Structure 1
Amino acid sequence: MREVTKAVIPAAGLGTRFLPATKSMPKEMLPLIDRPVIQYVVEEAVNSGIDDLIIITGRGKRAIEDYFDDSPELEMHLREHNKMDLLKRIRDISSLIDIHYIRQKEPLGLGDAIMRAEKHISDEPFAVLLGDDIIQNHTPCTRQLIDIFQQEGQSVIAVEEVPDDKVSSYGIIRGTRVGPSLLHIDDIVEKPQLADAPSRIGAIGRYVFTPQIFDCLDETVPGVGNEIQLTDAIRILLQRQDVYAHAFEGKRYDTGDKCGYLEAIIDFALENPETRDAVLQHLRSAGLRTAMQVQGDEGAVLAHSEHMEI
């Protein structure tokens, strides 16, 4: 069984849920305290044993390339002002991993974005990490999937149970349990209505694929949103080989969603020694223990804070 050493991060989306901020700023560069979202995803890949990374970008995404590149002027400035700790952090970013960039010329869907990496991946197994999802755990989610791939020799995707009101935003699986956290996927449906969903188990943004997924993507016709859907390609792959779903261990933040992004900011700020005390003081003074009465997006974020030890 070949080791999984390559990964693809699709980062070509338009980020419409965060307009107007994403009109000129890639959504993957939205900051969580002092690091952009995509850095956490890249670090997960590195910590999972990936040493060859392809980021699929699009128009207006140059900031991603600049971020992971060397910055001689900034480094010189930090050195001259004896800010050696910051200098090390900046250098560490550019030396994380070898990154290749491929542009998706048109926003034709996640499946199409992954297809852009076919020539680079060739006939090797590879991981896919969506730039919207941050997953925290001692064992990275991608590493969990790679370990299962090494055992089973087949494609495996990360899943979790999603709320009823989110079912229509996910690929939903129907599966047969074959282990404590492992399902054999019998079917998968892209963004079904709640009444038509085969379960509440949704595919989230981590995958490990055999290279046969590229043949399936090539055969996939435009689906939901008139885009090439990865879920539809997985349905084709199911007809040719086993595909598994793993109920991953860890805390997931959907930073492509406003509430998920704000929840990540709160939690990450509470884990950061520089910000923890000030954030705790603000949360307490804001009277968040009565936040369940607040409606809408603000209420969801405050309700999240309700369950934290403040």
Structure 2
Amino acid sequence: MHKPIRKAVLPVAGLGTRFLPATKAVPKEMLTIVDRPIVQYVVDEALAAGIEHIVFVTGRNKTVIADHFDRAYELEDTLKSRNKGAALELLEKIRPPAGSTSFTRQQDPLGLGHAIWCARDIIGAEPFAVLLPDVIIKSQVSCLKQMVEVYNDHGGNIIAVEEVPDDQTHQYGIVELAETINERASRISNMVEKPAPGTAPSNLMITGRYILQPEIFDLLGRHETGAGGEIQLTDSMLELMGSQSFASLRFDGESYDCGSKAGFLSANIAYALDNPELAAELVPLLHTMLADRPAGG
């Protein structure tokens, strides 16, 4: 029987420089996809997978994230006085249960591996999930829930992957597969960060969702730096692969890299089109805008 996945780490300390000046005073995780901040989608995914406790690894000027998941007494009192029951119910729905969130600080920008290591004392000696908040995954079943189902059957470490065109593999972390577990999951024998064009072992990129065993903390705690002079999660996963099993899951869903402007805008359009009222207004506007653009523009 495998220990259950009860906790998740969300590294939210990044500066969001690609979205300046919007992120000068507003964390990139709080930029909105339609009517909810990016981080809300990621938290919803974790909760839908049965996560009981979420650890936010924050940096300076990120207190608004904690405020978002807290009570807003003045706002709630105003909504009550104005009989805005639907809005009040929405705020209640997005607030995690009391005591189910923790916030710890990454004082220095030393990389993703270091950010995860900062959560070590809160996670403790149990397996945990990592969800990168730059990536939101649109799916019928929570991506992390799909991963937890594979973990419950096979244990070990699980990484979410998805296919990318062969000519783009050099832009991502790519996994090398070993034996097949089922139609969507396979054992991993290697991971290569941004392989040179034409050398990738597969076309499956690492998508920003992980289930990891707690032994990863000992490896991250060595503070050995890799690419960019940062403590890289991939380096420690590769070392852990020597003693523990790693599996990939080709999840059912579509990811949006909201750390890029194109991905952020694509996510807004995709989620807006899911709303019948918005879609009724948006689709004609998109058609008109596209028709007015010059060919190839």
Which TM-score band (shorter chain)?
Answer: over 0.9
Q: Secondary structure at the match of 2:286?
A: helix
Match of 2:173 in 1: 171
Q: Secondary structure at the match of 1:192?
A: coil
1:25 match: 26
State the shift of 1:149 in Å: 1.1
Aligned to 2:44: 43
Q: Distance in 2 between matches of 1:10 and 1:151?
A: 27
CA shift, 1:144, in A, is 1.1
The count of corresponding residues between Structure 1 and Structure 2 is 294
Note closer, same or farther for the CA distance 1:261–1:101 as it changes in structure 2 (3 Å cut). same
Q: Which residue does 1:15 correspond to in 2? A: 16
Whether contact under 8 Å (2:137, 2:254) holds in the other structure is: yes
CA drift of 1:165 comes to 5.5
Q: Aligned partners of 1:288, 1:112: CA distance in 2, in Å?
A: 48
* CA 31–239 in structure 1, closer or farther in 2 if over 3 Å, else same: same
Shift of 1:57: 0.7
- Alignment partner of 2:265: what SS? helix
Aligned residue identity for 1:188: M
Which secondary structure does the structure 1 equivalent of 2:91 belong to?
A: helix
Taking a change above 3 Å as real, the CA distance of residues 289 and 128 of structure 1, as seen in their structure-2 partners, is: farther
TM-fit CA distance, 1:164: 4.5
Q: Which runs of 4+ in 1 moved over 3 A?
A: 163-166, 287-292
1:186 match: 189
Q: Secondary structure at the match of 2:224?
A: coil
Would the aligned equivalents of 2:114 and 2:223 in 1 still touch at CA under 8 Å?
Answer: no
**Quick one: distance in 2 between partners of 1:24 and 1:175?**
42
TM-score, normalised via structure 1 length: 0.90
Check whether the contact 2:10–2:133 (CA below 8 A) recurs between aligned residues: yes
Match of 2:91 in 1: 90
1:46 offset after TM fit, Å? 0.5
1:251 aligns with 2:254: yes
Q: Which has the higher contact order (CA 8 A, sep 6+)?
A: 2
Alpha-carbon distance in 2 for matches of 1:169, 1:106: 26
Counterpart of 1:199 (choices 202, 213, 228) is: 202
**Residues of 2 paired with 1:218 and 1:43: CA distance?**
30
Gaps of 5+ in 2: none
How far apart are 1:197 and its partner, in Å?
2.9
| Partner-residue secondary structure (3-state), 1:13 | coil
Distance 1:166 1:58 in 2: 32
The amino acid across from 1:93 in the alignment is I
Q: Name the structure 1 match of 2:151.
A: 149
In 2, distance between residues paired with 1:188 and 1:233?
A: 11
Corresponding residue SS for 1:4? coil
1:307 equivalent in structure 2: none
What is the SS of the residue equivalent to 1:86?
helix
Which residue in the other structure is 2:82 paired with? Answer: 81
Partners of 2:292 and 2:86 in 1: how far apart?
38
Report if aligned partners of 2:143, 2:253 keep a CA contact under 8 Å in 1.
yes
Residue in structure 2 matched with residue 221 of structure 1 by the alignment: 224
Per-residue Cα deviation, 1:159-178 (whole angstroms, up to 9, x for no partner): 11223564344221111241
Alignment of 1:122-137 (within 5 A): 122-137=124-139
Partner residue, 2:54: 53
Which residue number corresponds to residue 69 of structure 1? 70
C-alpha displacement at 1:96, in angstroms?
5.2
Give the direction of change, closer, same or farther, for the CA distance of 1:279–1:77 in structure 2 (3 Å limit): same
| Structure with a larger share of its residues in helix | 1
Partner of 2:264: 261
Partner of 2:142: 140
Question: TM-score of the superposition, structure 2-length normalised?
Answer: 0.94
Q: Specify the code of the residue in structure 2 equivalent to 1:225.
A: G
For the 8 Å contact 1:7–1:128, the answer to whether it is kept is: yes
Secondary structure in 2 matching 1:17: helix
Mark the CA change 1:106 to 1:166 in structure 2 (over 3 Å): closer, same or farther: farther
1:103 to 102, 105, 108: 105
Q: Distance in 2 between matches of 1:38 and 1:244?
A: 26
Equivalent-residue separation in structure 1 for 2:48 and 2:292 (angstroms): 37
- 2:121 is aligned to 119
